Amino acid sequence: MTDRFHVIRLINKALHDYIKTVAPEQRWKRGYAHLLSKRRENLTNKQKERLDELLGMDSSFMLAYDFKQRLCSLLNLKSLTRQACRKPLRELTQMLDDLRNTSHLIWRRLADTLSKWFVPIICMWRFTKSNGITEGFQRKMKFIQRRAYGFRNFQNYRLRVLLECSHLFNKNSSFHKNLG
């Protein structure tokens, strides 16, 4: 199963890479990367001005940004019925065809990757499951590894992971009460 976060992150990275290749002088302006990844309606007026400044540098930037916004809004659909998936499915297929027909390698690569993930993307529309809990455990484990840099005893690492994550398995915790 794939999740929205990783698919949208991949699309944002493709847009950033495209802008870096078309306008290499924008490579070091870090604030633009943040603006490109957010939805336009979630930006402040000052951020919108900065985004418009970037998108005005090249006509293809605005087209790419609008395409990314449409694709991300399509991928954010949730809990659709089988019948309701038909229209977004046609739209996604058309968008992938448009990406494949572009001259830029970054967009064709993105189309190939999204085509490979086609069925999991459709499952994202139908079901609301997420791998957020797994991601949380992984983050905790990486944090333990960073803190214990240089230690090689797996048993101690295993015990530390169980200790750090044990509150999630405690029957009296709020986590289990929320599960029912």
94-107 pLDDT tens trace: 999 999 999 899 99
Q: Does 45 have pLDDT greater than 60?
A: yes
In this structure, what token pair is assigned to residue 58? Answer: 């090249």
The pLDDT, as a whole number, for residue 133 is 78
Can you give the pTM of this predicted structure? 0.72
In this structure, what token pair is assigned to residue 129? Answer: 């499951």
Domain segments of the chain as ranges: 4-126, 132-179
Under the banding of pLDDT at 50, 70 and 90, the label for residue 26 is: low
Q: Does 93 have pLDDT greater than 90?
A: yes
The Cα 15–Cα 74 span in angstroms is 16
119-135 pLDDT tens trace: 988 888 888 777 777 78
> What does the pLDDT average to over 63-91?
91
Q: Which residue has the higher pLDDT, 153 or 113?
A: 113
* Alpha helices (runs of H) in 28-150, residue ranges in sequence order: 30-37, 45-55, 59-75, 86-100, 105-116, 118-126, 132-147
> What does the pLDDT average to over 54-75?
89
The Cα 12–Cα 10 span in angstroms is 5
